[in-house]
């Protein structure tokens, strides 16, 4: 298979890239960091790499088309930025950056891949979203809201492409022990509920992709917790999250 992964220079995206390389697939990744891209080139000579920001649709299109050569089996949209800030605390620049990367970046990747896949009537679109996008509550971070929008985008693409031979899989992990999560939370990262290792997240994601699941929410305990919370009135959810924030401040 030919597989292109945005945000494949770190986190779950990189983990998936390494797994697919081990299986002898043709894999390409793109990322914004020139340093990370260079290191990947040195570590994995067989990996095709591109320094591309997913916000730049034209640059992403050139990279994907260069790799695909009119044949692409899978696009994994894994590029994303995370801010822990509440919506009311995030400045305009950070907000725009989050939405452009987390939402527009996925849309760019899907559109480019779809246009390559449709003539062949086969392909697989995958997005690394987040369980954070499943709950709507007051003061949710822009990150959470952008992921909520991504979830709706996936549903729209799935329905639009049904019957075309192109599958859409939405992967919604909870807290994963990535470098980025540690950078944002420091040692308190270990206190995150139901924290999974990066390897566990990659294995679960890969299984869901192989099975062409419409979506996968994990870990299971967090999926159950979110399912229960989603049945409560919005006012109750707001109150529970307010209590959580107060405890953090103590």
Q: Please tell me the pTM assigned to this model.
A: 0.88
Residue range of the domain that includes 186: 2-249
Distance CA 36, CA 109 (A): 20
pLDDT digits (tens, 9 = 90+) for 13-25: 999 999 999 999 9
pLDDT bucket at 249, cuts 50 / 70 / 90: very low
| pLDDT value, residue 67 | 98
Instruction: Say if residue 188's pLDDT is above 80.
Output: no
Q: Which residue did the predictor score with more confidence, 135 or 154?
A: 154
Percentage of the chain with pLDDT > 70?
A: 82
| pLDDT value, residue 20 | 98
pLDDT digits (tens, 9 = 90+) for 131-149: 988 977 655 678 888 999 9
Question: Could you tell me the CATH number of the domain that includes residue 95?
Answer: 3.40.50.720
CB atoms within 10 A of CB 61: 17
**Based on the structure, what is the number of domains in the chain?**
1
Distance CA 156, CA 46 (A): 35
Mean pLDDT of 239-247: 55
What does pLDDT average to over the chain? Answer: 88
- Note whether 123 and 167 are within 8 A (CB): yes
pLDDT bucket at 250, cuts 50 / 70 / 90: very low
**Among 1-5, 78-82, 141-145, whose mean pLDDT is lowest?**
141-145
- Residue appearing with tokens 């109150």: 239
| pLDDT value, residue 185 | 59
Crossing angle for the helix pair 92-99 and 142-161, nearest 10 degrees?
A: 20
**Among 59-63, 75-79, 126-130, 220-224, whose mean pLDDT is lowest?**
220-224
| pLDDT value, residue 138 | 59
Instruction: Say if residue 239's pLDDT is above 80.
Output: no
Mean pLDDT of 98-104: 93
| pLDDT value, residue 144 | 86
The stretches of the chain forming alpha helices (DSSP H) are: 11-22, 34-43, 57-68, 92-99, 105-117, 142-161, 179-185, 198-210, 220-229, 234-249
Instruction: Say if residue 234's pLDDT is above 90.
Output: no
CB atoms within 10 A of CB 57: 16
Instruction: Say if residue 74's pLDDT is above 90.
Output: yes
| Range picked from 59-68, 92-101, 177-186, 222-231 for highest mean pLDDT | 59-68
| pLDDT value, residue 53 | 96
């Amino acid at each position: 298979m030919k597989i292109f992964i945005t945000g494949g220079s770190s986190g779950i995206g990189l983990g998936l890239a390494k797994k697919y390389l081990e299986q002898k697939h043709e894999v390409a990744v793109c990322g914004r960091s020139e340093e990370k891209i260079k290191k990947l080139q040195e570590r994995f000579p067989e990996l095709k790499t591109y320094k591309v920001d997913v916000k730049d649709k034209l640059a992403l299109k050139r990279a994907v088309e260069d790799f695909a050569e009119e044949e692409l089996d899978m696009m994994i949209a894994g590029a994303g930025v995370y801010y822990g800030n509440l919506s009311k605390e995030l400045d305009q620049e950070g907000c725009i950056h989050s939405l452009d990367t987390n939402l527009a970046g996925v849309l760019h990747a899907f559109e480019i891949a779809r246009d390559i896949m449709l003539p062949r009537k086969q392909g697989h679109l995958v997005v690394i979203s987040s369980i954070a996008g499943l709950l709507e509550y007051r003061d949710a971070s822009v990150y959470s809201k952008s992921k909520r929008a991504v979830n709706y985008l996936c549903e729209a693409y799935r329905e639009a492409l049904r019957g075309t031979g192109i599958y859409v899989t939405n992967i919604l992990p909870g807290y994963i022990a990535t470098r980025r999560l540690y950078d944002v939370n420091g040692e308190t990262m270990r206190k995150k509920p139901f924290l999974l290792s990066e390897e566990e997240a990659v294995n679960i994601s890969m299984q869901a992709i192989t099975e062409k699941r419409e979506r996968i929410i994990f870990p299971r305990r967090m999926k159950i917790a979110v399912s229960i919370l989603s049945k409560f009135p919005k006012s109750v959810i707001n109150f529970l999250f307010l209590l959580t924030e107060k405890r953090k401040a103590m």
